[in-house]
């Protein structure tokens, strides 16, 4: 951990993320669509993906914390937020509670939730293409390319489709890993890639090590998610607990048992930490990434 105090590191970054997201979603908007979007995005969420973007950019050399990484951080959170809004809808998971609040469709109705999710996705790409020349066009284009590919039908949306199709079916570990690599892993890996893309001249070997970090972390995140679905209660989780089992969804706990899944999460966290060591980046710049990886595995919600 290089002695880094993660909370102290996170606090100003979280503030910048919240401010930028709030400033970028105007409540005054046609038919109050912006209000539903703000409800979905603001005042909630651990902001893991945006923090990963900023921590990676810092590790890769963006000491100044420039606008490119902040825009990318907001953009990936907006993609994450849109996916939650749509995932909670009655035709998908039909969930009524998210981050301790009624889900968007409960609060604003299904039609407005559908539109708000759509518009949150779009807004991600607005964030990546600021009109003030603060970010080079090459960085803008690279970030759009990464985020679109990570979240589309060969990425996150494809993983959600597998998830839907797999309810009540027994998946083996390879199939389960493929589902999660897309559904959750793609965006977590993309967070790391976006952070790297915002810094010029990162050596290919460093990029490759950071990608291995992102892949291991993404899988660890999902294994921990499956564990928490069994071990945590809804109040702590801020969403409905036990719903995977209730929906007869395949999980790592179902596959490996609770202890097996916990041990697997720890092993993956170890792989992630090793990848950081392999990157060759100065240990002094890796503290935030190590701290976030710890947080993913040790979280209780």
Q: Which residues bind its own copies (CB under 8 A)?
A: 25-26, 29-34, 37, 82-83, 86, 89, 91-92, 109-112, 114-119, 121-123, 125-126, 128-129, 131, 136-138, 140-142, 144-145, 147-149, 151-154, 157-162, 164-165, 178, 182
User: Based on CB atoms, which residue is closest to its own copies, 14 or 92?
Assistant: 92
User: Based on CB atoms, which residue is closest to its own copies, 59 or 79?
Assistant: 79
User: Based on CB atoms, which residue is closest to its own copies, 89 or 202?
Assistant: 89
Phi, psi of 32 (to 5 degrees): 60, 20
User: Based on CB atoms, which residue is closest to its own copies, 47 or 180?
Assistant: 180
Q: Closest approach of Cβ 43 to its own copies, in Å?
A: 19
Is-contact 181 216, C-beta < 8 A? no
For helices 173-180 and 252-278, give the axis angle rounded to 10 degrees.
60
Residue entry with tokens 């790592």: 252
User: Based on CB atoms, which residue is closest to its own copies, 180 or 285?
Assistant: 180
Query: Two tokens at 120?
Result: 């949150």
- Distances from the Cα of 267 to the Cαs of 183, 260, 263, in angstroms? 21, 11, 6
Q: Closest approach of Cβ 194 to its own copies, in Å?
A: 13
User: Based on CB atoms, which residue is closest to its own copies, 43 or 169?
Assistant: 169
Q: Closest approach of Cβ 24 to its own copies, in Å?
A: 11
Q: Closest approach of Cβ 230 to its own copies, in Å?
A: 24
Q: Closest approach of Cβ 189 to its own copies, in Å?
A: 16
Q: Closest approach of Cβ 119 to its own copies, in Å?
A: 4
Query: Two tokens at 270?
Result: 């170890």
User: Based on CB atoms, which residue is closest to its own copies, 14 or 157?
Assistant: 157
Query: Two tokens at 180?
Result: 């999660």
Q: Where are the beta strands (DSSP E) in the chain?
A: 97-98, 101-102
Closest CA to 197 of 61, 296, 86, 79: 61
CA distance 74 to 33: 19
Gyration radius from the chain CA atoms:
18
Q: Closest approach of Cβ 190 to its own copies, in Å?
A: 12
Query: Two tokens at 224?
Result: 């921990």
Closest CA to 112 of 44, 18, 39, 43: 39
């Amino acid at each position: 951990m290089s002695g880094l105090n993660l909370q102290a590191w996170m606090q100003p970054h979280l503030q910048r993320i919240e401010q930028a997201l709030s400033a970028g979603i105007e409540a005054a908007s046609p038919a109050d669509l912006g209000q539903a979007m703000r409800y979905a995005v603001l005042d909630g969420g651990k902001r893991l993906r945006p923090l990963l973007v900023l921590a990676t950019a810092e590790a890769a050399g963006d000491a100044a914390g420039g606008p490119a990484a902040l825009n990318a951080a907001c953009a990936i959170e907006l993609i994450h937020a849109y996916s939650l809004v749509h995932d909670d809808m009655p035709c998908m998971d039909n969930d009524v509670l998210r981050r301790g609040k009624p889900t968007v469709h409960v609060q604003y109705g299904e039609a407005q939730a559908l539109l708000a999710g759509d518009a949150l996705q779009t807004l991600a790409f607005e964030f990546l293409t600021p009109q003030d020349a603060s970010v080079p066009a090459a960085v803008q284009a690279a970030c759009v390319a990464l985020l679109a590919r990570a979240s589309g039908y060969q990425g996150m949306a494809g993983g959600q489709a597998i998830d839907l199709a797999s309810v009540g079916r027994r998946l083996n570990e390879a199939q389960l890993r493929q589902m999660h690599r897309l559904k959750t892993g793609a965006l977590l890996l993309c967070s790391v890639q976006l952070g790297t893309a915002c810094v010029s001249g990162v050596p290919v070997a460093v990029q490759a090590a950071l990608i291995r970090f992102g892949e291991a972390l993404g899988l660890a995140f999902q294994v921990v998610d499956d564990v928490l679905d069994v071990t945590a209660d809804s109040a702590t989780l801020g969403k409905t607990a036990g719903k995977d089992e209730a929906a007869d969804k395949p999980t790592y706990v179902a596959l490996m048992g609770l202890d097996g899944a916990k041990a697997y999460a720890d092993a993956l966290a170890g792989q992630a930490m090793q990848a950081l060591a392999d990157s060759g980046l100065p240990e002094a710049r890796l503290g935030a990434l190590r701290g976030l990886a710890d947080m993913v595995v040790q979280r209780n919600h």
